[in-house]
Amino acid sequence: MSVLADDSLQGRAPGTPGYESAARYAQTELQKMGLQPAGVNGTWRQDVPLRHSTVVQDESRLSVWTPVGTKTMTYDQDFYLAADPVREEAEIELAEVVFVGFGVSAPDLGYDDYAEADVDGKVVMYLSGAPSFLPSNERAYYSSGATKTSEAISRGAIGTMTFWAPDDPRLRWNVNAARS
Protein backbone atom coordinates (compact mmCIF):
# COMPACT_ATOMS: atom_id res chain seq x y z
CA MET A 1 0.00 0.00 0.00
CA SER A 2 2.85 2.40 0.75
CA VAL A 3 4.06 2.05 -2.85
CA LEU A 4 0.64 2.91 -4.28
CA ALA A 5 0.29 5.86 -1.90
CA ASP A 6 3.75 7.23 -2.65
CA ASP A 7 4.03 10.72 -4.15
CA SER A 8 6.23 9.35 -6.93
CA LEU A 9 3.06 8.02 -8.60
CA GLN A 10 1.81 11.61 -8.92
CA GLY A 11 -1.73 10.81 -7.85
CA ARG A 12 -2.35 7.85 -10.19
CA ALA A 13 -4.96 9.66 -12.30
CA PRO A 14 -6.14 7.56 -15.27
CA GLY A 15 -4.04 8.04 -18.38
CA THR A 16 -1.04 9.45 -16.54
CA PRO A 17 2.45 7.97 -16.12
CA GLY A 18 1.69 7.55 -12.39
CA TYR A 19 -1.34 5.43 -13.22
CA GLU A 20 0.69 3.23 -15.58
CA SER A 21 3.38 2.74 -12.92
CA ALA A 22 0.75 1.80 -10.33
CA ALA A 23 -0.89 -0.68 -12.74
CA ARG A 24 2.47 -2.33 -13.52
CA TYR A 25 3.27 -2.56 -9.80
CA ALA A 26 -0.13 -4.14 -9.03
CA GLN A 27 0.28 -6.62 -11.89
CA THR A 28 3.74 -7.64 -10.68
CA GLU A 29 2.52 -8.15 -7.12
CA LEU A 30 -0.47 -10.22 -8.28
CA GLN A 31 1.83 -12.39 -10.41
CA LYS A 32 4.14 -12.92 -7.41
CA MET A 33 1.11 -14.25 -5.49
CA GLY A 34 0.49 -16.78 -8.24
CA LEU A 35 -2.76 -15.25 -9.45
CA GLN A 36 -3.84 -15.52 -13.07
CA PRO A 37 -5.01 -12.59 -15.20
CA ALA A 38 -8.78 -12.26 -15.65
CA GLY A 39 -8.84 -9.24 -17.92
CA VAL A 40 -9.75 -8.90 -21.57
CA ASN A 41 -8.20 -11.62 -23.77
CA GLY A 42 -6.28 -13.10 -20.84
CA THR A 43 -4.53 -9.84 -19.94
CA TRP A 44 -4.32 -8.06 -16.62
CA ARG A 45 -6.23 -5.08 -17.99
CA GLN A 46 -9.83 -4.23 -18.69
CA ASP A 47 -10.67 -1.12 -20.68
CA VAL A 48 -13.13 1.12 -18.88
CA PRO A 49 -14.40 4.20 -20.71
CA LEU A 50 -13.96 7.32 -18.59
CA ARG A 51 -15.03 10.91 -19.03
CA HIS A 52 -12.90 13.87 -18.16
CA SER A 53 -14.60 17.10 -17.18
CA THR A 54 -12.91 20.43 -16.63
CA VAL A 55 -14.01 23.95 -15.90
CA VAL A 56 -12.71 26.57 -18.31
CA GLN A 57 -12.18 29.35 -15.80
CA ASP A 58 -11.67 32.11 -18.38
CA GLU A 59 -15.09 31.31 -19.86
CA SER A 60 -16.90 30.81 -16.54
CA ARG A 61 -19.09 33.71 -15.51
CA LEU A 62 -21.82 34.32 -13.01
CA SER A 63 -24.01 37.40 -12.85
CA VAL A 64 -26.96 37.88 -10.55
CA TRP A 65 -29.83 40.10 -11.64
CA THR A 66 -32.20 41.47 -9.01
CA PRO A 67 -34.78 44.28 -9.01
CA VAL A 68 -32.12 46.60 -7.54
CA GLY A 69 -29.33 45.82 -10.00
CA THR A 70 -26.82 43.37 -11.37
CA LYS A 71 -23.84 41.90 -9.55
CA THR A 72 -21.14 40.23 -11.62
CA MET A 73 -19.21 37.68 -9.59
CA THR A 74 -15.48 36.99 -9.86
CA TYR A 75 -14.37 33.40 -10.36
CA ASP A 76 -12.18 32.07 -7.53
CA GLN A 77 -13.28 34.91 -5.24
CA ASP A 78 -17.07 34.95 -5.24
CA PHE A 79 -17.79 31.56 -6.78
CA TYR A 80 -16.29 28.44 -8.25
CA LEU A 81 -17.75 25.73 -10.44
CA ALA A 82 -17.52 21.98 -10.33
CA ALA A 83 -17.30 20.26 -13.70
CA ASP A 84 -20.37 18.34 -14.84
CA PRO A 85 -19.35 14.67 -14.94
CA VAL A 86 -22.33 13.72 -17.12
CA ARG A 87 -22.33 16.26 -19.93
CA GLU A 88 -19.45 17.12 -22.19
CA GLU A 89 -20.48 20.77 -22.21
CA ALA A 90 -22.81 22.53 -19.83
CA GLU A 91 -24.10 26.05 -20.22
CA ILE A 92 -26.95 27.91 -18.62
CA GLU A 93 -27.48 31.24 -20.32
CA LEU A 94 -30.27 32.65 -18.17
CA ALA A 95 -32.23 30.91 -15.45
CA GLU A 96 -34.39 31.66 -12.47
CA VAL A 97 -32.86 30.66 -9.14
CA VAL A 98 -35.07 29.13 -6.45
CA PHE A 99 -33.81 29.04 -2.85
CA VAL A 100 -34.81 25.83 -1.07
CA GLY A 101 -33.29 26.15 2.40
CA PHE A 102 -30.99 23.18 2.92
CA GLY A 103 -32.34 21.39 -0.15
CA VAL A 104 -33.50 18.49 2.02
CA SER A 105 -36.60 16.46 1.28
CA ALA A 106 -37.20 14.12 4.22
CA PRO A 107 -40.99 13.94 4.69
CA ASP A 108 -40.61 10.76 6.76
CA LEU A 109 -38.68 12.90 9.27
CA GLY A 110 -41.23 15.71 9.10
CA TYR A 111 -39.03 18.03 7.03
CA ASP A 112 -39.24 19.02 3.36
CA ASP A 113 -37.59 22.11 1.88
CA TYR A 114 -39.22 21.31 -1.47
CA ALA A 115 -42.81 21.10 -0.16
CA GLU A 116 -43.84 24.46 -1.66
CA ALA A 117 -41.09 24.87 -4.26
CA ASP A 118 -41.42 24.63 -8.02
CA VAL A 119 -37.89 24.02 -9.30
CA ASP A 120 -38.69 22.55 -12.72
CA GLY A 121 -36.43 24.21 -15.33
CA LYS A 122 -34.73 26.36 -12.69
CA VAL A 123 -31.46 26.49 -10.79
CA VAL A 124 -31.78 25.36 -7.19
CA MET A 125 -29.80 27.19 -4.52
CA TYR A 126 -29.39 25.62 -1.11
CA LEU A 127 -27.40 26.06 2.08
CA SER A 128 -24.54 23.68 2.79
CA GLY A 129 -25.17 21.07 5.43
CA ALA A 130 -28.52 19.94 6.81
CA PRO A 131 -30.78 20.97 9.70
CA SER A 132 -29.08 20.38 13.04
CA PHE A 133 -32.16 18.73 14.56
CA LEU A 134 -31.90 15.75 12.20
CA PRO A 135 -30.38 12.60 13.72
CA SER A 136 -26.64 12.28 13.03
CA ASN A 137 -26.78 9.60 10.31
CA GLU A 138 -29.64 11.30 8.49
CA ARG A 139 -27.94 14.69 8.78
CA ALA A 140 -24.79 13.22 7.20
CA TYR A 141 -26.81 11.68 4.37
CA TYR A 142 -28.83 14.81 3.63
CA SER A 143 -25.71 17.04 3.85
CA SER A 144 -24.13 15.19 0.93
CA GLY A 145 -23.82 17.22 -2.25
CA ALA A 146 -24.63 14.10 -4.28
CA THR A 147 -27.87 13.58 -2.33
CA LYS A 148 -28.87 17.21 -2.75
CA THR A 149 -28.03 17.31 -6.46
CA SER A 150 -29.90 14.07 -7.09
CA GLU A 151 -32.99 15.43 -5.33
CA ALA A 152 -32.88 18.68 -7.30
CA ILE A 153 -32.46 16.91 -10.63
CA SER A 154 -35.28 14.47 -9.85
CA ARG A 155 -37.53 17.51 -9.47
CA GLY A 156 -36.51 18.98 -12.84
CA ALA A 157 -33.80 21.45 -11.78
CA ILE A 158 -31.29 22.38 -14.49
CA GLY A 159 -28.50 23.28 -12.07
CA THR A 160 -27.59 23.65 -8.42
CA MET A 161 -25.76 26.23 -6.35
CA THR A 162 -24.51 25.68 -2.82
CA PHE A 163 -24.34 28.68 -0.52
CA TRP A 164 -21.63 28.55 2.11
CA ALA A 165 -21.58 31.21 4.80
CA PRO A 166 -18.19 32.99 4.54
CA ASP A 167 -17.41 32.27 8.20
CA ASP A 168 -18.35 28.58 8.01
CA PRO A 169 -15.35 26.72 9.49
CA ARG A 170 -15.94 23.84 7.04
CA LEU A 171 -15.38 26.15 4.10
CA ARG A 172 -11.96 25.67 2.59
CA TRP A 173 -12.33 27.95 -0.40
CA ASN A 174 -8.80 27.47 -1.70
CA VAL A 175 -9.12 23.66 -1.57
CA ASN A 176 -12.59 23.63 -3.14
CA ALA A 177 -11.54 26.00 -5.92
CA ALA A 178 -8.49 23.87 -6.69
CA ARG A 179 -10.73 20.79 -7.01
CA SER A 180 -13.23 22.46 -9.34
Q: How many CB atoms lie within 10 A of CB 87?
A: 10
Q: Domain-by-domain residue ranges, the chain?
A: 2-42, 57-179
Name the DSSP class of 10: T
Q: Per residue in 44-102, pLDDT tens? A: 988 888 777 778 888 888 888 889 999 998 888 888 777 776 667 777 778 899 999 99
Express as a percent the part of the chain with pLDDT over 70.
88
pLDDT band at 172 (very low <50, low <70, confident <90, very high): low
pLDDT of 165 above 80: no
User: Which are the contacts of 164, defined by CB distance < 8 A and separation ≥ 6?
Assistant: 128, 170, 171
Q: What's the average model confidence in pLDDT over 15-29?
A: 89
HSE toward the beta carbon, residue 154, CA cutoff 13 A: 10
123 contacts 109 by C-beta, under 8 angstroms: no
pTM across the whole model: 0.65
Interatomic CA distance for residues 146 and 131, integer angstroms: 17
What residues contact residue 176 under an 8 Å CB cut-off, 6+ apart? 80
Res 180: pLDDT:
47
DSSP state of 75: B
DSSP H or E segment with residue 30: helix 17-32
Distance between CA atoms of residues 116 and 139, nearest Å: 21
15 and 25 in contact (C-beta within 8 Å)? Answer: no
